[in-house]
Amino acid sequence: MPINKDVAPTAAEKELRRRTRRGFLGLGIGTAAAFAGWEWLMSGAHEEDDIPPRLRAILRANEAVVRKTIYSNNNLVKTWPASAVGKIKPNGDVGLDDDVENDDWRLEVVPFGQSEAALKLDLDDIRKLPRYEEIIDFKCVEGWSTVTQFAGVRFSDFTAKFARGSANAPSVAMQTPDGEYYVSMDMPSALHPQTVLAWEMNGEPLEDEHGAPLRLVLPVKYGIKSIKRIGRVEYVRERRPDDYWAERGYDWYAGL
């Protein structure tokens, strides 16, 4: 039955109109607030490749929550049988342009509190530590993952042997011999029992495109942190030393 416009609206209808107006007004204010909130979140000065500062602050807050609540070096990444190993693709070649012969390569170690390399190690020095091997699902920030075998030495063993006392540093920074690629990480993740300095992948010596002669494997973080062809390891006081992908908008922590 259509509304008869000559008849005065009932009390109920008046009330409903009033409430409908109020409802739409609320909806409008809510929508405007959502737009304003989005603008607020995405605003603020930042480098061209970086993300807006408020989003960065949220990533840091997330990191703080994770590190205070669930992170533990007793939490281990799942390990797999050899039959699960797949073929991992080389992804990223920044810092791998130079030809490094294994015999000429040296790893510079800068202990905590020093500014110069105290040691320049060759591969044989590092191989003297207990061999450690793992088969883990290597996870890329892009979403793919590949079960891969790595062998080398635990970074915690390396630190205890070649940089005594440096485990007290808040962070570790590493870079390629040419300095083109560089990462940094928090000390707990670096000392995680599954963090490895690897020279072997899937039973073969590490190939150039996978970071020969020595690379990092950090299964508690995305692959962007697992730097290939390490030239220098530095134990530092800064909380967030320079990091290649963090400068390009990614979460510095990148923890899994």
Partner 1 sequence: MIYWAYDPYRIGFSRFTLFHFFPDTFYNATHVQHKLALGMAIHFAFAWLFAINGIAYVVYTLASGEWRELAPDSRSFGEAIQVAMHDAGFKIPLPPQGRYNAAQRITYTAIILMGGLSLLTGLAIYKPAQIHWLTALLGGYQWARFEHFWLTMGYVGFFVIHIAQVIRAGWPNLRSMVSGYDVTGAEAHHAD
Residues near partner 1 (CB under 8 A): 1-3, 9-10, 12-13, 16, 19-20, 22-24, 27, 41, 51, 55-56, 58-59, 62, 66, 70-72, 75-78, 137, 139-145, 219-220, 245, 248-251, 255-256
- 236 vs 246, beta carbon nearer partner 1: 246
Q: How far is the CB of 82 from partner 1 (least distance, A)?
A: 18
- 148 vs 166, beta carbon nearer partner 1: 148
Q: Do 198 and 223 form a contact (C-beta atoms < 8 A)?
A: no
- 139 vs 210, beta carbon nearer partner 1: 139
Q: What are phi and psi of 104, to 5 degrees?
A: -85, -20
Burial of 185 (0-12, 13-18, 19+ CB in 10 A): buried
Which residues does 178 contact at the CB level (< 8 Å), separation at least 6? 95, 97, 98, 231
SS3 190: helix
Question: 138: part of which helix (H) or strand (E)?
Answer: strand 132-139
- 27 vs 118, beta carbon nearer partner 1: 27
Question: 25: part of which helix (H) or strand (E)?
Answer: helix 11-42
Q: How far is the CB of 65 from partner 1 (least distance, A)?
A: 10
Q: Do 172 and 184 form a contact (C-beta atoms < 8 A)?
A: yes
User: For residue 1, how many other CB atoms are within 10 A of its CB?
Assistant: 3
Residue 221 is given by DSSP the state: B
- 32 vs 118, beta carbon nearer partner 1: 32
- 53 vs 165, beta carbon nearer partner 1: 53
What are the Cα distances from residue 142, in Å, to 27, 32, 79, 82, 242? 37, 34, 21, 24, 21
